């Protein structure tokens, strides 16, 4: 039985670092284990221009504790006013690694997102030419569509038409939660990949709603039925390079999570790798963990994998805090509901 595993240092291909006091509190938890992360731009106000991205990157680097290394890979928040020239310049300068598409109203701080997809066509066409990936929050926002169907509906109504209209556009379907999304990505050989979060490999919708409402398991896209969780686990542990880790670690303070209208997001940065090792071991796929956390993402983004390694060791239960303190208030760490035995050493 494997008790120790050395893998290339992982990257997180979808991460919310926030800003200010929250950034200072959460950044070390990602930097401890991850070398790089695709940093989401849904601040208030959002990161929409190259100038915004440069300033945000500087704030992240300034918040990094002495002695830690971490490379934030910046993204721009796509709006109907986004200038293709600004995007191309930020890409040419090496400032951004992707552009993020939020359908307006789909999730936290998405009000400035896209309503009319025709209005962003020039940006998407330019991105296809320069090879800049589009990270997509794949949910329709039509209030008539059931929240559990919004991802599957997005594929038919938005994603597939958009990809057909923009040949060559490289797309990452972010935080997929359904077997429909897994099937769609699996059916395409080129220019399409998906990130999978840690928490969607662990919870289904019963964890949120059965026996009491558990706000710390609420995120968007919301966790679906068990059959979908199993499809995600198969995809993540399969070794298929189109699937890679994007934790979507998304801190909100307890008062914001636990209110009458709680925010969406699971904070998984502190214990993600211990949970993933547990999941991959359960699936008999520890040999595919490195691909998922450390190889497939860089390959899609055209970056070299990290040179350094981390070691995961199995032993006595791993202690991690139930909450972390931040200048904005306490943030609850994701509880997978089982003891963790894999620690990063
Ligand atoms: O659960 C989520 N939280 N999903 C998102 O899409 C946004 C994120 C956040 O920023 O809190
Ligand atoms: Zn996210």
**Any ligand 1 atom below 6 A from CB of 185:** no
Structure confidence at residue 96 (pLDDT)? 98
Structure confidence at residue 142 (pLDDT)? 93
Q: Note the helical H segments in 155-239.
A: 160-165, 179-186, 205-209, 226-237
**Any ligand 1 atom below 6 A from CB of 265:** yes
Structure confidence at residue 112 (pLDDT)? 87
Please report where in the chains the tokens 């981390």 appear, as a residue. Answer: 310
Residue in 12, 191, 248, 335 annotated catalytic: 248
For the domain made up of 4-344, the CATH class stated in words is alpha beta
Closest C-alpha residue for ligand 1 atom 4: 220
- CA 107 to ligand 1 center in whole angstroms: 6
196: β partners:
245
Tens digit of pLDDT at every position of the chain (345 positions): 779 999 999 999 999 999 999 999 999 999 999 999 999 999 999 999 999 999 999 999 999 999 999 999 999 999 999 999 999 999 999 999 999 999 998 887 888 899 999 999 999 999 999 999 999 999 999 999 999 999 999 999 999 999 999 999 999 999 999 999 999 999 999 999 999 999 999 999 999 999 999 999 999 999 999 999 999 999 999 999 999 999 999 999 999 999 999 999 999 999 999 999 999 999 999 999 999 999 999 999 999 999 999 999 999 999 999 999 999 999 999 999 999 999 998
- Ligand closest to 220 (CA) is 1
67 CB neighbour count, 10 Å cutoff: 5
- CA 292 to ligand 2 center in whole angstroms: 18
**Bond before 176 cis per omega within 30 degrees:** no
Strand order in 243-245's β-sheet? 12-15, 36-39, 71-77, 96-101, 134-136, 171-173, 192-196, 243-245
Q: How far is CA 189 from CA 157, 240, 241, 242, in A?
A: 21, 11, 10, 9
248 is catalytic: yes
Q: Are the beta carbons of 101 and 80 closer than 8 angstroms? A: no
Q: Best mutation site among 112, 113, 219, 253 for ligand 1, i.e. most ligand atoms within 8 A of its Cβ?
A: 219
Domain spans, the chain = 4-344
38: β partners:
73
pLDDT tens figures, 62-120: 999 999 999 999 999 999 999 999 999 999 999 999 999 999 988 878 888 999 999 99
Q: Best mutation site among 136, 248, 253 for ligand 1, i.e. most ligand atoms within 8 A of its Cβ?
A: 248
């Amino acid at each position: 039985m494997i008790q120790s595993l050395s893998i290339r240092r992982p990257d997180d291909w979808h991460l919310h670092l926030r800003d200010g006091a929250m950034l200072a509190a959460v950044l070390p938890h990602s930097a401890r284990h991850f070398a790089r992360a695709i940093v989401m731009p849904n601040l208030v106000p959002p990161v929409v221009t190259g100038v915004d991205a440069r300033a945000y990157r500087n704030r992240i680097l300034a918040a990094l504790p002495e002695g830690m290394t971490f490379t934030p890979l910046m993204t721009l928040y796509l709006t109907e006013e986004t200038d293709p020239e600004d995007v191309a310049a930020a890409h040419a300068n090496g400032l951004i690694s992707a552009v993020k598409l939020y359908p307006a109203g789909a999730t936290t701080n998405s009000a400035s997102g896209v309503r009319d997809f025709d209005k962003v066509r020039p940006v998407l066409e330019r991105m296809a030419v320069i090879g800049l990936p589009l990270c997509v929050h794949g949910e329709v926002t039509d209030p008539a569509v059931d929240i559990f169907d919004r991802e599957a509906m997005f594929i038919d109504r938005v994603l597939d038409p958009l990809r057909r209209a923009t040949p060559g556009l490289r797309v990452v379907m972010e935080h997929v939660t359904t077997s429909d999304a897994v099937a769609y990505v699996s059916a395409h050989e080129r220019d399409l990949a998906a990130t999978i979060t840690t928490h969607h490999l662990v919870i289904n919708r019963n964890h949120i709603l059965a026996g009491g409402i558990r706000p710390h398991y609420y995120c968007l896209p919301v966790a679906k039925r068990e059959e979908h969780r199993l499809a995600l686990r198969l995809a993540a542990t399969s070794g298929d390079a189109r699937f890679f880790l994007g934790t979507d670690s998304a801190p909100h303070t307890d008062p914001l999570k636990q209110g009458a209208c709680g925010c969406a997001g699971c904070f998984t940065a502190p214990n993600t790798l211990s949970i993933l090792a547990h999941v991959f071991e359960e699936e008999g796929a520890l040999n595919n963990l490195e691909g998922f956390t450390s190889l497939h993402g860089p390959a899609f983004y055209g970056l070299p994998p990290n040179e350094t390694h981390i070691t995961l060791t199995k032993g006595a239960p791993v202690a991690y805090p139930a909450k972390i303190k931040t200048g904005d208030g306490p943030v609850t760490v994701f509880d997978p509901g089982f003891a963790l035995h894999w620690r990063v050493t």
